[in-house]
Amino acid sequence: MPSLRPFDVDIRPAIRLAVTCLILAIGLRTWLVMGLIEPVTVAGSSMVPALQSGDRLWIDRTAMLWRPPQRWEVVVARNPVDAIELCIKRIVGLPGERVALRDGNVLVDGAVVVKTFAEQLALRQRVQREVLPPMGASDQRWQSGTTTHWRFNGRVWQHSAHLNKTLDWLRYEHPRAEPITDDVVTNVGLTRRLNLVDEFMLSAEVRVQGEGVLCLALDDGSTTVQVNLRLPESELVVVEGERGRFVERISALSRERLVRGKVRIEFSNFDQQLLLAIDGHVELRRRWPQAKAAGTARPVSIGAQGLDVEIGSLTLYRDVYHSSHAVGAPPPRAAQWPLGPDEYFLLGDNAPVSLDSRLWGPVPARLLVGKPLLP
């Protein structure tokens, strides 16, 4: 009869895990006691939509010991008017720069600051996301018209190539055909003059099959730029009104992903720059044609010819609009702010209600406390 003996169990991994957790707990407690990590609760809506009133977060007071703050980084600072109060803002101006605000954009030394693609994703503000399923005809902002072959199946938009070989358009139209503004849902009840916005981003998950053209168009109210992606050639044909046509080619990686299946496409004109990214890889970056924007209710369109197309997660964003001053605050005394060698310019994302450097002026580095960390 076989004998029985205990299983050999290696408890060393469990011991290592327990020791690691203990060290982390002791370290966190030490940082809390020393005040290097501080829990706080957000009060107010000056950083909507990035941070909402009532959000709980931690302040990392060590973040700025190792490197200086970067542009577009969110920081915690002491209020220059009341040093006891802590506030959360975004850095837009760095030491030694001349900062100005014009048409919603940040200018440094006279030129519009152009955000990287990653920065665009971090700062974009949602205008509309296609409701799944739609809540009614009045909520259906993407319109296909009666003569096209786009169909919404309650989940995604689809285009069938075999139904028609002509170019079919799917267009966004804002409710009541009113131009899109810098209005923010959380500012309901605030009386102010709304600003027309003209910098948008289209984001969608796209699947294409066949040979043909996928078209993306952006309109700022006075200028329309159309980008045609030709498949299988993988050519990008950029049509800029009377300026003509420009041809580029997408990378082999993006072409392979398009052929294999679904990709995420972002298409924007933030900071007077035309940008197209496929699965996070920037394939096109050009200066937006200079024109005076007049506002628009129809900023983006998607066209297809000769392709089977499926589009999901269809979302329209706009760029942050930095107005010259908050509601109730006096207009700035100067058109621009020169920053000293140890000064920063801080703004809130929700400009209409944010008290920031537009009122305070430049903020000394000694008033920067740390970096907020979400739990």
Q: What are phi and psi of 182, to 5 degrees?
A: -90, 25
* Separation of alpha carbons 63 and 68, rounded Å: 9
The one-letter amino acid code at 20 reads T
The dihedral of CA 38, 42, 46, 49: what is its sign? positive
Where along the chain do the CATH 2.60.120.560 domains lie? 125-318
Model confidence, pTM: 0.88
pLDDT tens-digit profile, the chain (375 residues): 444 444 455 666 666 776 566 555 544 544 444 446 777 788 889 999 999 888 998 888 888 888 899 999 999 999 999 988 999 999 999 999 999 999 999 999 999 999 999 999 999 999 998 765 555 554 679 988 766 788 888 789 999 887 667 889 999 999 999 999 999 988 988 889 999 999 999 999 999 999 999 999 999 998 999 999 999 888 999 998 766 788 889 999 999 998 888 999 999 999 999 999 999 999 999 999 876 677 899 999 999 999 999 999 999 999 999 999 999 888 888 789 999 999 999 999 999 999 999 999 999 999 999 999 875
Where along the chain do the CATH 2.10.109.10 domains lie? 42-109+323-373
- Topology given in CATH for the domain delimited by 125-318: Jelly Rolls (2.60.120)
Q: Where are the alpha helices (DSSP H) in 35-154?
A: 117-123
Q: Evaluate whether 272 touches 112 at the Cβ level (below 8 Å).
A: yes
CATH pick for 42-109+323-373 out of 1.10.287.1080, 3.30.460.10, 2.10.109.10, 3.30.479.30: 2.10.109.10
